[in-house]
Structure 1
Amino acid sequence: MLIGNLDAMTVFARVVEERSFSGAARKLGMSKSAVSKHVTKLEDNLGIRLLNRTTRRLSLTDAGSTFYQHCARVVEEIETAEHALTDLRGTPRGTLRISAPLTFGQMYLPALVTEFMEQYPGLHVDIHLADHMVDLVAEGVDMAIRITRLKDSSLIARKLADFSSHIVAAPSYLQEHGEPKTPQDLTQHKTLSYTNLPSPNIWDFNGPDGQVSVRVDPVLSCNNGEFTSTAAIRGLGIAREPEFIVAQALLDGRLVSILKDFNADSGGGIYAVYPERRHLPTKVRVFIDFLVEKFRGGLCSFHQQTCAEVAQGKGPIRSS
């Protein structure tokens, strides 16, 4: 029965990934009615409802969610088989689905993806930016960029760059309130906290006498690092920010790095991660290789290169 349903399974997977019949129809080059008929036939053959349909939205039933996870793997294997000869030639094709953190993606991915797609014009790239951890398998994502301490998981990871943090403040804030000399001095200052960390109000340092942890009492908390860095630039307080967000502000003097003798805890690295698969699709392998090469000199080197390209009019970059 399932062999006869392979076309319907492909259609069903696209409906789930596009979250609509019309979106799946556009991706597949089919009519919306044909997509609906494929899904209805699949449900009839299986004898169970896979999707809840309303006039405004679609949602998976419990059975549909379970079936989709298996269905997506089957469809992936079919696509891998269909593209085998193309893969042997090393030419990526199809749709590359990427997940990345919001601010990092806004700042760096436009330049990276544009250059990559110029090399492979036949490839379609679908990018999802979000600060929460996306389930790559359940949501049909090929790979993700994650900035974290890597934990054991079913995902395969390749490191792109080290991830460092800076304790930063605006010159105007330091002129008015003075500069803290030790991590403990932060308890007497206004601080800004990024809340997407496991312990946002515990700031860790590696000083001359070993590791030091300080509990701060922030005057502002936010789940977006670009927001807190902008508040720091405006003189609201002291922030702990990742290098990729504050690099430009440090270069042009809008922010100053402080407590340099107490290196802020790095927080891990920047990784490309993807689901464990027997055969990594060429589109994923080639893009990860591209990222590794681009970040070979480290994040700071890549940032400076990107800024130089922006100065030459090659593309936008957002900064704090």
Structure 2
Amino acid sequence: MLIGNLDGMTVFARVVEEQSFSGAARKLAMSKSAVSKHVTKLEDSLGIRLLNRTTRRLSLTDAGATFYQHCARVVEEIETAEHALTDLRGTPRGTLRISAPLTFGQRYMPDLVSEFMGLHPGLHVDIHLADHMVDLVAEGFDMAIRITRLKDSSLIARKLADFNGYVVASPGYIAEHGEPRHPTELANHRTLAYTNLANPNVWEFEGPEGQINVRVNPIMSCNNGDFTSFAAIRGLGVAREPEFIVAEALQKGSLVSILNEYNSLASGGIYAVYPERRHLPTKVRIFIDFLVEKFRGGLCNFHKTMFPSD
């Protein structure tokens, strides 16, 4: 009975994941009515309702929740088999779903993805930009770009590049308030904090005397690094920023790197991460190989190559 319902199981699984018939229709390149018919036919063949439908939302019945767990595994096995065949042909196809941090994604991903899609025109790329950590498996992403000091997880990671952390201020701010010469002096300065960190008000450094943790009293906090860097450029205060955000401003002189004798522990790595799978899809493997090649030589070299006029 279920052999004839593989299409229905695939459609049902996508409806659950997208939480709507319309969303499933877009992902499957089908009409909404066709998606509905597949689910109805599946329910009829099983003799049980899988979804509760209202004008505003869908919800799984108890039977539907149980059945979905099995459907998801079956669909994953089918996709794995298809990816294996694609590997034999060596041609990436389908949709590559990528999660990336907002600022990094806005600055670098358009050029990277445009070049990659020019090499592989049969591939569709779906990019989700957000600074919060997404669940790759639960949210259906093939891979993500993570900018962090990577911790142990169930994900497989491949480092693309290291990045430095900088403490920066505008020339105007330094002229008015002076330049701090030691990290502890930051407690008496106007600071700008990036809040997507475990301890945004504690800035960590390494220097000749070892590790130094400084508690700052920010006059402004924000969950976006671009915002805090723009505020610093306008002379509002001192900010702690990763290299990929302030590289251009440092080159132009609109920001100045301070406390250079101390290593800001805002540094870290840029990683391509993906769920542990028995078979890595060609589209993921080829894109990660592409990124590794692009970042070869480090972030500074990558920036100069991608933006030669900077």
- Which secondary structure state, in structure 1, belongs to the residue aligned with residue 24 of structure 2? helix
Query: Larger deviation: 8-17 or 288-297?
Result: 8-17
Residue 219 (str. 1) matches residue 258 (str. 2): no
Change in Cα spacing, 1:58 to 1:295, as seen in structure 2 (3 Å) is farther
Residue 88 (str. 1) matches residue 88 (str. 2): yes
Q: What's the TM-score, normalizing by structure 2? A: 0.92
Change in Cα spacing, 1:218 to 1:284, as seen in structure 2 (3 Å) is same
Residue identity matched to 2:137: V
Aligned to 2:282: 282
Q: Do 1:69 and 1:138's aligned partners in 2 also have CA atoms closer than 8 Å?
A: no
Aligned to 1:25: 25
Q: 1 CA distance for matches of 2:50 and 2:141?
A: 21
Query: Larger deviation: 144-153 or 19-28?
Result: 19-28
Q: 2 CA distance for matches of 1:62 and 1:201?
A: 46
Q: Do 1:50 and 1:60's aligned partners in 2 also have CA atoms closer than 8 Å?
A: yes
- Which secondary structure state, in structure 2, belongs to the residue aligned with residue 77 of structure 1? helix
Q: Do 1:72 and 1:140's aligned partners in 2 also have CA atoms closer than 8 Å?
A: no
- Which secondary structure state, in structure 1, belongs to the residue aligned with residue 33 of structure 2? helix
Q: 1 CA distance for matches of 2:198 and 2:65?
A: 29
Change in Cα spacing, 1:52 to 1:127, as seen in structure 2 (3 Å) is farther
Residue 137 (str. 1) matches residue 137 (str. 2): yes
> CA-to-partner distance for each residue in 1:34-70, whole Å, 9 max, x for gaps?
2012223444556765545443444566775665565
Q: Do 2:156 and 2:276's aligned partners in 1 also have CA atoms closer than 8 Å?
A: yes
> CA-to-partner distance for each residue in 1:97-128, whole Å, 9 max, x for gaps?
00011111111100000000000000000011
Aligned to 1:238: 238
Aligned to 1:314: none
Alignment of 1:128-167 (within 5 A): 128-167=128-167
Aligned to 2:301: 301
Query: Larger deviation: 12-21 or 135-144?
Result: 12-21
Alignment of 1:103-118 (within 5 A): 103-118=103-118
Q: 1 CA distance for matches of 2:137 and 2:57?
A: 22
**Superposition deviation, residue 5 in structure 1:** 3.0
Q: Do 1:142 and 1:284's aligned partners in 2 also have CA atoms closer than 8 Å?
A: yes
Alignment of 1:46-61 (within 5 A): 50-58=50-58
Residue identity matched to 1:137: V
Q: Do 1:173 and 1:237's aligned partners in 2 also have CA atoms closer than 8 Å?
A: yes
Residue identity matched to 1:249: A
Alignment of 1:255-294 (within 5 A): 255-294=255-294
Q: Do 2:160 and 2:292's aligned partners in 1 also have CA atoms closer than 8 Å?
A: yes
Q: 2 CA distance for matches of 1:228 and 1:290?
A: 31
- Which secondary structure state, in structure 1, belongs to the residue aligned with residue 192 of structure 2? strand
Give me the identity figure in percent.
80
The Cα RMSD (Å) is 2.2
Q: Do 1:49 and 1:61's aligned partners in 2 also have CA atoms closer than 8 Å?
A: yes
Aligned to 1:196: 196
Residue identity matched to 2:261: D
Q: Do 2:193 and 2:228's aligned partners in 1 also have CA atoms closer than 8 Å?
A: yes
Change in Cα spacing, 1:269 to 1:65, as seen in structure 2 (3 Å) is farther
Alignment of 1:182-193 (within 5 A): 182-193=182-193
Q: 1 CA distance for matches of 2:203 and 2:268?
A: 14
How many residue pairs align between the two structures? Answer: 310
Gaps of 5+ in 2: none
Q: 2 CA distance for matches of 1:14 and 1:127?
A: 18
Q: What's the TM-score, normalizing by structure 1? A: 0.89
